[in-house]
């Protein structure tokens, strides 16, 4: 006896999982039928749990994607604002120095910062190591597969 029809979305957009009323217990059913019925119910339960997980994950993924979009917009805005920051520094230096000198100072400062970032990046890249454990494990697996492939059935003790 079904309480609701097939899965259909409710007004909030979340699909409804059909609920099934507890069937009457057949006291004369064989063990095989009971096992079959139990496995059917477990299968239905597992499918319902998977559907619930999908619904929750999709909602979480959407929220995460929207949050990521806001972070990307913030990063782009910050990046574009750096242009105005350096322009402001040049204009402030223009108060005490000739205009061309103030902008050369800003240019050199930007180059020094870029050089520092390259230096720090190179130091980090040099610290990257190869995955030695994975390489050793793959080598052992390859050796074992080669040994198994070249192993003759007649070599086995009878």
5: helix, coil or strand? coil
What distance separates the 2 farthest-apart alpha carbons in the chain? 103
Q: Helix, strand, or coil here: 2? A: strand
Query: What's the half-sphere exposure (Cβ side, CA atoms, 13 Å) at 35?
Result: 3
Same domain, 73 and 139: no
Quote the CA–CA distance of 87 and 94 in Å, as a whole number: 11
Residue 90 burial by CB count (10 A; 0-12/13-18/19+): exposed, middle or buried? buried
Q: Are residues 2 and 34 in the same domain?
A: yes
* CA atoms within 13 A of residue 105's CA, in its CB half-sphere: 15
| Residue that terminates a domain, selected from 52, 82, 112 | 82
Domain count for the chain, please give it: 2
**CA angle centred on 79, ends 78 and 83, rounded to 5°:** 105
Note the pLDDT tens digit of each residue in 14-53: 556 666 666 666 677 778 887 888 888 888 888 888 888 8
Q: Name the one residue in this structure whose structure tokens are 């910062």.
A: 113
- Rounded to two decimals, the pTM is 0.47
Asked if residue 37 is part of any domain, the answer here is yes
Domain that holds residue 65: 1-82
Say whether both 4 and 38 belong to one domain: yes
In a domain, 55, yes or no: yes
Instruction: Give the tens place of pLDDT for each residue, 89-147.
Output: 999 999 999 999 999 999 999 999 999 999 999 999 888 888 888 888 878 888 887 88
Based on the fold, state whether residues 98 and 77 are members of the same structural domain: no
Is there a single domain that holds both residue 12 and residue 63? yes
């Amino acid at each position: 006896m079904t309480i609701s029809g097939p899965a259909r979305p409710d007004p909030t957009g979340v699909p409804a999982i059909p609920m099934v009323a507890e069937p009457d217990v057949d006291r004369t059913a064989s063990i095989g039928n009971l096992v079959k019925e139990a496995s059917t119910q477990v299968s239905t339960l597992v499918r319902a749990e998977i559907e619930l997980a999908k619904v929750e994950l999709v909602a979480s993924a959407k929220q995460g994607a929207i949050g990521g979009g806001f972070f990307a917009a913030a990063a782009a805005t910050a990046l574009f604002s750096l242009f105005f920051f350096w322009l402001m520094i040049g204009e402030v230096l223009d108060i005490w120095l000739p205009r061309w000198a103030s902008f050369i100072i800003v240019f050199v400062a930007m180059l020094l910062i870029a050089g520092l970032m390259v230096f720090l990046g190179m130091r980090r890249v040099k610290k990257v190591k190869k995955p030695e454990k994975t390489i050793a494990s793959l080598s052992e697996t390859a050796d074992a597969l080669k040994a198994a492939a070249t192993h003759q059935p007649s070599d086995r003790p009878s």
